[in-house]
Amino acid sequence: MPSTHTSAPTTHTAMADSVSLEITRNGLAAIADEMAISHVRSAYSSVARDMLDFSTAVCDSRGRVVAQGLSLAIQLGAIPRLMKMMIERVGVPGRGDVYFVNHPWQGGVHVPDVFFVKPVFLDTGDAPVAYTVIVSHMVDMGGRYAGSISPAAASIFEEGLMIPLVPLVKAGVVNQPILDLIAANVRDPSSVLGDIRSALGALETGAAQFQEFARRTGPAALAGQIERLLDATERATRAAFLRDIPDGTASAEDFLDSKAPENPNPKIACTVVKKGDRIRFDFAGTSPQVAGGFNCTIADVMSVAAFAARSVLSEDIPVNDGFYRCLEFDVPEGSLINAQHPAGVSARGSTVCRLNDVAMAAMANLVPGQLPAAPGGRGAIFFSGQRTHKDGGKAWVFLDYLGPGWGGRPVGEGVPGLSHPLVNAANIPVETIEQQFPLRVSEYALADDVRGTGLHASAAGVVREYVALNDNTTVNQELIRDVHTAPGVVGGHAGTPALAQVRRSGSKSWETVPAIGLFKLDAGDTLRCQLSTGGGYGKPAGVPAGSTTNTAANASARSA
């Protein structure tokens, strides 16, 4: 008589395998997160320590991403491209090596983001079994503009020191001449070199933990588990595409607030094509690259495609090489989002955020009722100057990110004061700003009287007022969506624009200054930055078509 228990071993085996995969998945993710914690605790600059403008990842012996830390989505999509170049150009690295790069066409994205890669070896064997990776935003990498970022940069050659993929550490010995070269070219060498040392320590932390994980699991067993994890991720992703996203084609477009004279309103267009278990993002129709720093390279497109696709899936699927296999995209060469050397790309963050808004809008048209309206635009403000003789006389650079109001959601109002969803940067406390830089923050609040209207309104953006304590303080700012406000969805109204104003010392009136621009403050001058808000969700009740709350009236009142 046939046994009634023949399926039990298979069931038990499948369950054990699932448990083993989850242990592997979470173990690798914990390594990436521990690297992030290490970098935060030892970083010198407020950019890395407080704002958390960095990302971490663990890659396998073939350079495939197997885990990533809880950090910036805008940076993570570039790591597969970096690792492909690493494997092709370096071949087999040596023990104790660390490579780094910031060249936008040799594995980087823009000059301030520096990528670090450390091969991980076990006690035996001449080939690496894994790589730990960090990309960290340096507060300055030289060039014409403090912070190495400006929409006004005519080409990459104005944007700072470019470093191709080279060894920073060889056989455990730091390449000191490269560090000396960097120190000679940046405005704040103490912070930059401190953050580099912090990144090296975090890479070592990740490497040591991977080695321990491999010893505990067994190197061959871990390699097999990683292969199964990536394959399982691909299967789960394709199954989720089939289940959660209907077949079809949907498009969206938006315009960038560029001030380039030859193309002041460059367009970003996206068409999403979903068929079966495949999804493709087509960016045909996007404007050609522009003169200035608003261009970006194709590395950023992967970040956007992964974010947009992942946002509509109901299942908790890891974003690793198995997930990336499921994404396809077409990007016109020489376009704003696939710029060719020597285009300026330093201010690419604003473009990538707008690119993400467009890709998300196309996805929202494909899966109506699931995604929010677009958020307001990010705020990135560089302050720089020279400290007084009493304070040492050294140059200083400070980067502050401000959060916009997120768009209205299907389930309620937007979320106030957070960074753009693709950026995920943290708030820098007022106390940190005032302790470390010659600035005083006289107001930090939510502009809750200003928002895009809808059945579910957008949220308030951040307002920050900075008082300069030194003369000749330079401001280089990008308050995005000052012209092209965030569109509403399903009948919701557009968001409200960004606004920048200056009140000169001794004056009682405010003057409007460019939301995207470069200007000076003297001691006692106040800069007031109000971020844009997202679009409204759904048709508002009892509000005339086309209206938003009274941003213009508020601005006029402050200027009086």
- What pLDDT is recorded for position 558? 35
- Alpha-carbon distance of 168 to 134, in angstroms, equals 14
Q: Is 269 helix (H, G, I), strand (E, B) or coil?
A: strand
Paired tokens of 87? 């494997």
**Long-range contact set of residues 37-42: C-beta below 8 Å, sequence gap at least 24:** 38/198, 38/201, 38/202, 38/205, 38/206, 39/134, 39/136, 39/198, 39/199, 39/201, 39/202, 42/197, 42/198, 42/201, 42/202
Closest to 424 in 3D by CA, of 435, 433, 411, 415: 415
At position 373, the amino acid (one-letter code) is A
Closest to 84 in 3D by CA, of 133, 29, 25: 133
CA atoms within 13 A on the CB side of 271: 10
- What pLDDT is recorded for position 15? 55
Q: pTM for the full model?
A: 0.92
Contact 223, 24 (CB under 8 A): no
Closest to 129 in 3D by CA, of 118, 140, 139, 138: 118
- Alpha-carbon distance of 312 to 367, in angstroms, equals 8
- What pLDDT is recorded for position 261? 66
- What pLDDT is recorded for position 368? 93
- What pLDDT is recorded for position 108? 95
- What pLDDT is recorded for position 18? 84
Closest to 395 in 3D by CA, of 187, 191, 194: 187
- What pLDDT is recorded for position 390? 82
Closest to 494 in 3D by CA, of 459, 536, 457, 460: 536
- Alpha-carbon distance of 543 to 560, in angstroms, equals 28
Segments in the chain below pLDDT 50: 1-9, 545-560
- What pLDDT is recorded for position 6? 46
Q: Is 225 helix (H, G, I), strand (E, B) or coil?
A: helix
pLDDT digits (tens, 9 = 90+) for 167-216: 999 999 999 999 999 999 999 999 999 999 999 999 999 999 999 999 99
- Alpha-carbon distance of 142 to 249, in angstroms, equals 44
pLDDT digits (tens, 9 = 90+) for 235-248: 999 999 999 999 99
- What pLDDT is recorded for position 51? 95
